[in-house]
Structure 1
């Protein structure tokens, strides 16, 4: 339905046999010069009266189909990469804080011996630079190894791209940018060394506040929750039956595709008498031409009938309610430069039409229109029926009876699955990858955060043990404090997924003509993810608290830290 064309590649001998049994179709292809407008060329071609009975497929339609399939997954992977990078920078920052806590006396001693602060910073900066370079090289090597299985489907669908020297350069540039971001983050974190005098470093073991570690715990929970929920919400929304209203299709139970008017007339009588049918409508599509302001025309499929029976989603305005009204798809309105309230003339129609609204549509190139009725003597290009059965009616037997009468019928759920099968499969894989990545990062960072917090507060823990507190009591105290931060971070991640996450997905789909996009949130799955995130964070917290056993009561008397 997105391109109105299905093709098969056959052997030349098979083609010779098929030519005698069918009508031959001719494909006419053009490569336009740089800067030429495909829309203007199309209007010029049609005005010249050249053959134009088939669908018009341009690069924008092919781009839209690519975005619906592979580019949607690439967008999610890019979003996951940004979230992982942000969380990684947070990890590096607090790992560095932990290292500075452990090396506090050494850095204080170096300053007391006269080593400048700049030299001390350079020691740590060189150390982390030497760790960053092998990490970047390992990432490049992993990308080279994984590129063949990851790009297998792209090569099968679109062919092999020509070799280009720009690809390795782009990879090296991206790796260099990531290394630069990491080193800048390390450099900014090392400013804390400038605020420490040699005496403070030698005598005061606490310079970093406890709230910093707790904030990191909440921030990581929020980031990982966002990382897991956005792919889950997008996958569930695209696979839900209600999303068809953003595809230009009615939210019905069943869909019937007809080609001839006599079949549509007999079907109308049959549906009228069928006791199992609760609501139905037949929509006829005519191939019309819109007259533009410059005098040229544009092919525009216009769907007519009872549009309110199974309405589509309107981004602006509403569907037509009178004979001289017309609703345009978003992509068609963009090309025609029209808004609700403007006037549009169709060739062959005596009266102009008033644009009442703009609706979402990604079928048939995304450039369609809807009206109640057209005064025309031409036969409809196709007829589509939408049916919803009464509660308790057996839809499978009803579909079999229609198929037996030669009427193609498909459930809307299967229609969505067939249209987006590959996309939904890839989205599911991306969701699983995001969930695994998010949980892994969450456990590692929470473990490091608690270790950092314990390292910061060893003297306080030692003093409490000297006063009679047991290790179990201290662990329970820290664990209870951590619960509220984990719950708060998880709730913040949910709000981020429902706010900025939904906005980013909406921004991508709006470029395809699917406006008014909202997440269809699966409550059971969302609740399960939130519980899983909290459980993983608290489990990592409890495991990391075992280091409290190594804190001895005499440490507070010695006035020094032990690792």
Structure 2
């Protein structure tokens, strides 16, 4: 019996049934996709870092190294499981030619290593430890994605020829946020090219108990061991590897939660519309003594079937689309060993969607208890009182035509009814605008100011402090340069609360020339002030106004924390100050340059690179693009998908809502026809209702997107270092194109949804 009822009902209301199925399928697909992607990302990342045996602690160091002292420290520290010193041969990008492409424009610190013996293995694309032969070169996987080279091509490294034998995954340097990239060569080839570049050391440790990493870092610093470079921990390696795909998954999660909410509203719409259509039949069933529970079963059977079919379709679609979304994860991290677990979790998500829909329908069907059998049989529809809008009278109207006035008045009179449509439009505007704003923010040049980097044109970095003066001399004589700043990073000892010592890297110079954004406080302006990166402030448990003690030129000095900022460079553990120090050796110096004419950036990069082969000169736009490119690409894809989702939601929900209103207002429509209103008058009233609700929805949705949306986006951004930021909004897309697309969608949907008003006959709806 139920099958026959469901079949006949579907045949009578194909549009409503199809629309409901689309929403349920979309909600189920997004929930399943998010679950599958989360499990795959987590599993693939764990597999990569387990296979590679990622270091728990890595200290990069340039300069002289005392391996005997390091070995003694490792042997005496009870928590050290394994230890090794890895040589990293840095080389200028112009000396690396892969096929037809030079890496001269690469902002990465490209270098060469041999395969490690104990841990931190470089893996092939099958997850195996690479055994490289003489003459072979394994290239970081990022250059495979960028199609810089392919297997079998020739590579020229400072004049020596190699053959690209394959691509490698590097659990410590895979991420675009990592400033360095490792190429793999054989021991013999490494020995041949060792004198052609500069050696940097990667001092690596695996611990017995990683939970004590803080104590280990303190012990390392207190021992006064090599620390002329950034230090990175296992947790940060994991975060950097997960960021790009994690951001995309987070956006999908946000959109899926909103679509699920809208799916419930859509079901409520269709259910209420169906109840309106069947109002007289429901009254008859109640009049002949049919129990409420029996009537509910008829509707539950239909919606349970729709929910089941929609959930199954959603799951199938999620399996179809997962390959495209998993492509980046599989390239950089490989396959998850627990693929079946991801599918199982996706199925659990689908099951939860199905159960929630059935439970929700059951709650909505409790409205049957409020239906009067006598009224339903007599009128064939619910007879609502229309309170509200008492002060909005036609006699006082001087702004609108009669039809527009009556449309707006109906919205104000039945606020509760229109509130559902309003909420859906607010959510649609939110879904459309937030990912766009997030993409515009991350892709804008100004975003680097939230990442610990100032807004300038050229970045010249060198570890040769003696030759920095040569750079400054040339810049001073260059009439194309409007201003510049020299920032030198040095390592100092920091006294902690328990009287032990830690190393802290401090960037010295004029921080007002190219300011960054501070989440709290401001840049240091006096020699007794210091600003801390978010990670340093958290680890030291310091806030603005607190005092830290540092050893400067052999003497202890108290410095007040003036500000806290975000940083993606050098492991995120930095500080900024303006005091003068002549004792500590410079780790590196960055010369920040601003040009009068931005079109000269490319030629200046080329010119400075040729003149200063000991330094790395980068276009700051290219620096940001290569550093955040993968993340920007993921968010861009999510933003375009969100626009499509929002427009589809707007069209379908408006269509359903208009059909529901027409069914609900049959009695009112025939009254208006009887007193002389034409079909075009009635439709104009419905158009004015839609547009009025839409305008309010767009306004509130935009407001919500720029407040709550900014907070939610801030949570995502903080995952890779930016503790505080403001949306960079493109007003043309956010405030013009997006609203216009929604208005067009609503008008088209209203036109289709109200087409049935002409078919409502006076004789069939007014009974004596």
- Smaller-chain TM-score bracket: over 0.9
Equivalent position to 1:134, from 305, 309, 318:
309
Mapped partners of 2:435, 2:339: distance in 1: 32
For structure 2, the 5+ residue unaligned runs are 1-107, 109-176, 387-413
Equivalent position to 1:276, from 476, 480, 493:
480
Mapped partners of 2:561, 2:649: distance in 1: 51
Deviates more, 1:32-41 or 1:225-234: 32-41
Deviations 1:259-282 (A, max 9, x none): 312331122222223222222111
Equivalent position to 1:235, from 417, 423, 439:
439
**1:213, 1:452 within 8 Å by CA — same for their partners in 2?**
no
What does 1:383-462 align with in structure 2 at a 5 Å threshold? 383-390=589-596, 394-406=600-612, 408-462=616-670
Secondary structure of 2:538's aligned partner: helix
Secondary structure of 1:505's aligned partner: helix
What does 1:152-551 align with in structure 2 at a 5 Å threshold? 152-163=327-338, 166-204=341-379, 205-207=381-383, 211-349=415-553, 350=555, 351-390=557-596, 394-406=600-612, 408-526=616-734, 527-551=736-760
State TM-score, norm by structure 2: 0.69
Secondary structure of 2:561's aligned partner: strand
For structure 1, the 5+ residue unaligned runs are none
Mapped partners of 2:339, 2:320: distance in 1: 18
**1:348, 1:376 within 8 Å by CA — same for their partners in 2?**
no
Structure 2 vs 1, CA of residues 455 and 173 (structure 1 numbering), >3 Å: closer, same or farther? same
What does 1:56-135 align with in structure 2 at a 5 Å threshold? 56-135=231-310
State TM-score, norm by structure 1: 0.93
CA RMSD of the aligned region, Å? 2.4
**1:3, 1:55 within 8 Å by CA — same for their partners in 2?**
no
**Highest relative contact order (Cα 8 Å, sep 6+), 1 or 2?**
1
Mapped partners of 1:483, 1:168: distance in 2: 43
**1:3, 1:61 within 8 Å by CA — same for their partners in 2?**
no
Deviates more, 1:464-473 or 1:513-522: 464-473
Which residue in 1 is equivalent to 2:33? Answer: none
Mapped partners of 1:401, 1:542: distance in 2: 62
Structure 2 vs 1, CA of residues 167 and 553 (structure 1 numbering), >3 Å: closer, same or farther? same
**1:320, 1:372 within 8 Å by CA — same for their partners in 2?**
yes
**1:213, 1:453 within 8 Å by CA — same for their partners in 2?**
no
Secondary structure of 1:37's aligned partner: helix
Mapped partners of 1:47, 1:122: distance in 2: 73
Deviates more, 1:362-371 or 1:349-358: 349-358
Secondary structure of 1:383's aligned partner: strand
Mapped partners of 1:531, 1:547: distance in 2: 26
**1:486, 1:538 within 8 Å by CA — same for their partners in 2?**
no
Deviations 1:256-311 (A, max 9, x none): 22231233112222222322222211101112332322233333221001111011
Count residues in correspondence: 559
Mapped partners of 1:393, 1:102: distance in 2: 66
Deviates more, 1:309-318 or 1:253-262: 253-262
Mapped partners of 1:34, 1:177: distance in 2: 38
Distance apart, 1:148 and its partner CA: 2.5
Structure 2 vs 1, CA of residues 166 and 395 (structure 1 numbering), >3 Å: closer, same or farther? closer
Distance apart, 1:131 and its partner CA: 2.0
Equivalent position to 2:325, from 131, 140, 150:
150
Secondary structure of 2:684's aligned partner: helix
**2:230, 2:571 within 8 Å by CA — same for their partners in 1?**
no
**2:690, 2:746 within 8 Å by CA — same for their partners in 1?**
no
Mapped partners of 1:253, 1:186: distance in 2: 59
Deviates more, 1:309-318 or 1:169-178: 169-178
**1:252, 1:412 within 8 Å by CA — same for their partners in 2?**
yes
Mapped partners of 1:129, 1:110: distance in 2: 22
Structure 2 vs 1, CA of residues 114 and 414 (structure 1 numbering), >3 Å: closer, same or farther? same
